[in-house]
Structure 1
Amino acid sequence: MNFPDSILQSVAFIFADNSTTLVPVGTGFFVTISEYFRGIQLGTLYFVTARHVIENCAAYYSNRDVNLRLNLKSGGTENISVPISAFKQSHIDSSADITAWQVSVDVSRYALAALGPQFMAPRDFLSGRKIYKNGIGTDAIIVGLYHRMYGADRNIPIVKRASISAVPEELIRTKLGHAKLYILETFSFGGLSGSPVFSVSRGYENATASTTANSSRRNDHGLAFQTIIKLEENYSLLGVVHGHWETEEENFGTAQSHKSIGGSKTLNEGMMLVTPIELFEEIVKEDHFCAGRDISNRQQIERIKISHPELIEKFLTD
């Protein structure tokens, strides 16, 4: 399997400041939203993560900013300090564990790639009403921060395999309220919250075939031929890691336990909860997101007027 570099490069790590050092607390990823503005297709870059990751930086570390660690094209990493207030969430769905920062800094120095529309999962699949090729039992991949080894000189995201166990038709109770979540069979751990999750399909759309003569299989009628077909893996952005189901201490007796960020002892049940990416697609249509993109689009138009005035004249007169 040749895993796409563009997916690995879309991921960045989130750190909180505990007053003595920076502590890794989660993962996020870059997404581009494309739309037409005055007849010209423009793109807006967002950094997406789980809402609780950003809120925990304020609640448990008393931070006003979060630090995003990005890989530099020239080597090494650099931290970007982003105000917590710059992350926006839904004003309509208070249970949605997803938030986004509309990127407002120059990212040309960084070795990053943004996920575009080609990675978005089909809406029919996300609805859960019908099972298509990306249905229950399908492989999934999580790309994010592993708290025991995330890279000293470079961000090194891990690629973790899972399978889609359920597409719930009912809302699931979380600390943020009752939410629509997908269930994956895999263990979650510190640092994966906010990571992108991809469903994996294997098909013939981009398959390659090669036919060769095989002399070792010669028979009375001449050479035997063999054809090898390689199926390509296709990745669809399924959602954002919310966390995992846990059993409280009084319910698991002598089983192996660990302490959560709040200090309570819990047992990880090995089932990951994922916020659907369709929620992000809906949230960016809300007024406060649209207002931010409107400002960005106008700024992009002004830059195009300076660099390519002929394009502006063409589109505005067509």
Structure 2
Amino acid sequence: MEGLQLIATGGALPGRVVTNEDLSQLVDTSDEWITTRTGIRQRHFCAEGETAATLAVSAARQALERSGLQPEQIGCCVCATLSGAYATPSTACLVQKELGLAQDIPVLDVNAACSGFIYGAAVARGLLATRPQDDRRYALVIGCEQLSRLMDMTDRNTCVLFGDGAGAVLFEAVEGAEFAVDLGARGDMAIETPPCGPIRMDGRAVFRFAVDALPRTLHAVLDATHHTLDEVDWVVCHQANSRIIDHCVKKLEADSAKFYKNMDRHGNTSAASIPVALNELAETGRLQPGMRLACIGFGGGLTWGGMLITVKGSAV
């Protein structure tokens, strides 16, 4: 079966930067309290005229331009989000319209919260497999969120955690490509978000879940591809909390340098966090052809997902 390879990335962040100091003017908190418990120092919130969809379009357009592909070559578009402005049209349909993607391809949103990008990649792989053998072997997978519109800005336990943003990745379906995906879910209200918010979370329960799910899912994709962690160039986890990643690195007795972290600048952007991180790695020259990446998501649902992929091109 064909696997996916990463060929290009794109990203978009809102213009409004909100620091921990800014939040300390709204709720009983401080920069020291937030940073020591989460690793987060600032996050981006959408300003007027910015939405999950506008960010998704910007990130997707950038990925498409960097890939050198034409819109008509895209075989499917999957958007992972829990904060799209509409139940319908989907955010993916809005991206399709703005980018001029073909009208005879599958286009849809998926909601697996913070695991959404991994779920989206798995869905895209399946969709490409159903298509006739033509040149539309490319999938556009986007993670985008406007979590700021779902937050209770008087709840210091959640308002300090989340941010807005979007990341997009173009994948190519390649016969024999090294690829593995592991998905799972366990219905649990430890994180809940009603249609109009606000986000509620049991922080301790989520921490216990995450420090179990992350290493277990990482081992699953490594075992499926017969690789060790030493043979992986980057581990890109959902950027929820630096303490979760640090705990797992210690548990795995791993090299912390290969576990990418950027929550200090963006906070938790849910489905956007992994593709935003991939785009940052690409833009700073730290993704090179042939590199092996493990991407691990975990979050609301509760859901988890892992993926092992390789980089085909320059990725920028």
Task: Quickly name the TM-score band, shorter chain normalised.
Answer: under 0.3
Point out the structure with max Rg over C-alpha.
1
Could you tell me the TM-score, scaled by structure 2's length?
A: 0.28
Report 1 or 2 for greater relative contact order, CA contacts < 8 Å, sequence distance ≥ 6: 2
Could you tell me the TM-score, scaled by structure 1's length?
A: 0.28
| Higher-strand-fraction structure | 1
